[in-house]
């Protein structure tokens, strides 16, 4: 899935050019004063720019050992974190209609994953789209 705003094609551009594009993208997003979470989601979330520019494991591994990765990490670390009075537990109890619960369970079973992972993926995609619009 290529982003229409991407200057380069992930299949034909060199690793160095894709790394440069990714760093420039994250830098531009950081300049918009996004929070850490917003910036991470738009850069690394499901279907986000990183997975578009580095679609295979070999390139992703190479990226994470590159100097660009350290610079992008510094941009993320510098992003503001909204203060939260109480730390989040990471747990959420959610009541669903039986029909929605059943549909999610069926989809998770077909995908070979847990309902928790399926719901997390769906939320991440939704948040990523919300941040980019």
Q: Does a structural domain hold residue 84?
A: no
Q: Is the pTM of this model over 0.75?
A: no
Tens of pLDDT, residue by residue over 70-112, are 999 999 889 888 765 567 777 888 888 899 899 999 998 998 8
Whether residue 69 sits in one domain with residue 20: yes
Whether residue 103 sits in one domain with residue 74: no
Whether residue 69 sits in one domain with residue 39: yes
Q: Does a structural domain hold residue 9?
A: no
3-class SS letters over 101-127: HHHHHHHHHHHCCCHHHHHHHHHHHHH
43 CB contacts (<8 Å, ≥6 apart)? 22, 25, 26, 29, 49, 50, 72, 76
Domain span at residue 26 reads 15-78
Tens of pLDDT, residue by residue over 25-54, are 999 999 998 888 889 889 988 888 998 898
């Amino acid at each position: 899935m290529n982003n229409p705003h991407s200057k380069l094609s992930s299949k034909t551009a060199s690793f160095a050019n894709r790394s440069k594009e990714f760093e420039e993208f994250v830098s531009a997003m950081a300049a918009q004063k996004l929070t850490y979470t917003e910036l991470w989601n738009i850069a690394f979330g499901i279907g986000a720019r990183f997975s578009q520019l580095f679609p295979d494991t070999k390139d992703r591994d190479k990226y994470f050992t590159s100097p660009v990765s350290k610079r992008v990490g510094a941009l993320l670390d510098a992003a503001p974190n909204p203060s939260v009075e109480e730390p989040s537990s990471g747990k959420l109890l959610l009541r669903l209609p039986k029909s929605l619960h059943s549909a999610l369970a069926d989809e998770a079973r077909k995908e070979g994953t847990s309902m928790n992972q399926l719901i997390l993926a769906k939320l991440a995609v939704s948040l990523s789209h919300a941040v980019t619009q």
